[in-house]
Structures are given as C-alpha cells and as structure tokens.
Amino acid sequence: MSPSLLCLILMLLSGLGLNAQAGMLNEPIKPLPAVPQLNPLQVELGRQLFNEPRLSANSKLSCANCHQLNKGGADTVAFSVGVLGLPVSVNTPSIFNAALNFSHFWDGRSMTLRAQVHEAVQSPGEMSGNWRDVVQMLGADANYRASFEKAYPDGVTESNVNNALATYERTLISSNSRFDQYLRGDTGILSQEEKYGYQRFKSNGCIACHQGVNIGGNMLQKFGVMGDYFKARGNPTPIDLGRYQVTKDDMDRNVFKVPSLRNVAVTAPYFHDGSAETLEEAVEVMFRYQLGRIPSAEDKTLIIKFLKTLTGEWEGKPL
C-alpha cells in the first residue's frame, strides 16, 4: 500500500471517529471493561454474603433484596423497604458497574466500595446490622468459618467480610451492551434511529455529565441547574439537600452524584427521589431542569432509543 493511500485511509477513519489500530470509536463514552479476574474464593464468599439476610438486624434483609440482579441491580419501587419495614430515604441505585463510579451513595459520601459496604450494613434505615454481631454470627457458622479460612489467612474479621463483599461487587460488570459493541467498531449493530439518538444525546448537552466508561458516575452536579426542580415537584425533604448534608457548604445544596446511565432502560424509577416512573418522564425533567428547554417529541423518541442500547449482559444474558 502506498503512503498516500494509507494517509487517505487514516484520514477517513479519523473522520468516522475510528481508532485505526483497535477499530475503536473515538467517543466521549468508553466501553465497559471485562469482568476482572479476582480471587475466586473471595468472590464466591462475597456472593454468598451479598445474599445473606443474617447481615441485617432482623436476619431478613440481604443486599440482594434491594439490589436485585435480575432487575438491573436496582429495585422496582421508588424506595426500597429497609429492615424496619419502612421505606429508605432515597431510590436504590444499581449495583452493576458501581465499582467504576468515583464515589458512592447519591451524596457521594463514600469514596470506596468498602466504605459503601461498611455503611450500608450498619445504616439504621437499611440493614441496621452491627458489625460485631455479624462477625460473631459468621464465625459461629461452620461453613462460613471454613470458607473464610480458605479465602483469608486470618479468617472471619470485619475487614474480611467487607473485603469479600466489595470483591464480589467488583465483578458485577454488565458488559457487551449493543452500544459497547458499536463503540468497539461494530457500527452496523445500531439502527439509524439509535445512532441519531446518540447524536441528539451529544448535541443537546447530555454528554456533558453522562460520559466516560460508566456514562456518568464520575462527577457531582446540581439537580436543577436551569430551574427549581424541587419547588416544581413540591414537598421538599432533607434528602433533597444532597451533598450539602455531608459538607454543610451552601454550594452543595441540591448537588448529587451524576448517576450512571448504563442499564437505565431496566432500572426505573429514576432520580434520587424515584419521582420519574418512565424514561420519557426522566428525559423531560433532564431537559427542563438541567438543559433549560423543552425537548421536541423527536428528540425524546430518538434519545430514548439510544438509551435502550445501553442495556448490558450479566452471566451471558441480557439484563
């Protein structure tokens, strides 16, 4: 191949947004990584603990009750029911791909998965567990004791319980969405309307907050940049203060972690308050209060078609 022809091909690929070496599209959204290869004994132990109701105060509520893996890793209601039989204060985010977020909880107060696990287990509104009791219970269970001794030199400890849960959660990667396949160079896998939807997603400014490998989850943002969402919704609650409850900085009022949009089509309802029951409602609210305009019917239709391409797979099956 002549140098001039090679240059022409590279220019054409660049114009299409392709990485000539890997066939990867050069976009602000990146494909999910493969499921990491971690210590299998710790992963399996974490899986068991994730489904273990005895971590909770009443031995009836496990992590899997609210983070339902067969329902996108979230819940199907605005507010999950905690150990006391009462709704928790915020909508349950998906546990899928949570390891790729820069912080955890809607107010971003935990910077690591281990910190998130530690707090969720002992949170009064959620599992209301006691770590001393949890360690004692697991240590008294012959099967758990044997599993911990195989996975960790020092057996059952609070740190090891926490580590096992976080290790398992790191494997919850919903790879191989159709959009990820598109980003890897299979441009024919999306319909023309889905591709137009992605272009509208970018041109309207959604991409400013929802980008990167998790299509969000990497920044904090005020809910209501271009209008007072909470005044329009009514009935404000302390939870609506968001990040302010952590920092007490007025600049953090109504500021929340930008959620990942991965698997968004299967994780309704939406927002920290679970107020949007459908993608149509969620897109409408985002346009109005984050972008300051009303979306056209065509914008909404096309963007939602794009959002539906973000649904990935778990254990070889679509979520």
Q: How many CB atoms lie within 10 A of CB 119?
A: 15
What count of other Cβ atoms lies within 10 Å of the Cβ of residue 303?
24
According to the 3-state scheme, what is the secondary structure of the chain? CCHHHHHHHHHHHHHCCEECCCCEECCCECCCCCCCCCCHHHHHHHHHHHCCHHHCCCCCCCHHHHCEHHHCCECCCCCCECCCCCECCCCCCCCCCHHHCCCECCCCCECCHHHHHHHHHHCCCCCCCCHHHHHHHHHHCHHHHHHHHHHCCCCCCHHHHHHHHHHHHHCCCCCCCHHHHHHCCCHHHCCHHHHHHHHHHHHCCHHHCCCECCCCCCCEEECCCCCCHHHHHCCCCHHHHECHHHHCCHHHCCEEECCCCCCHHHCCCECCCCCECCHHHHHHHHHHHHHCCCCCHHHHHHHHHHHHHHCCEECCEEC
- Among residues 52, 126, 169, 194, which one is catalytic? 126
Rounded distance, CA 245 to CA 224, Å? 17
Residue 158 annotated to the active site: no
Distance of CA 101 to the CA centre of its chain: 7
**Measured on CA atoms in the order 181, 184, 190, 196, is the torsion positive or negative?**
positive
Q: How far apart are CA 95 and CA 97, in angstroms?
A: 6
Q: What six digits make up the tokens of 28?
A: 């602000």
Catalytic annotation, residues:
126
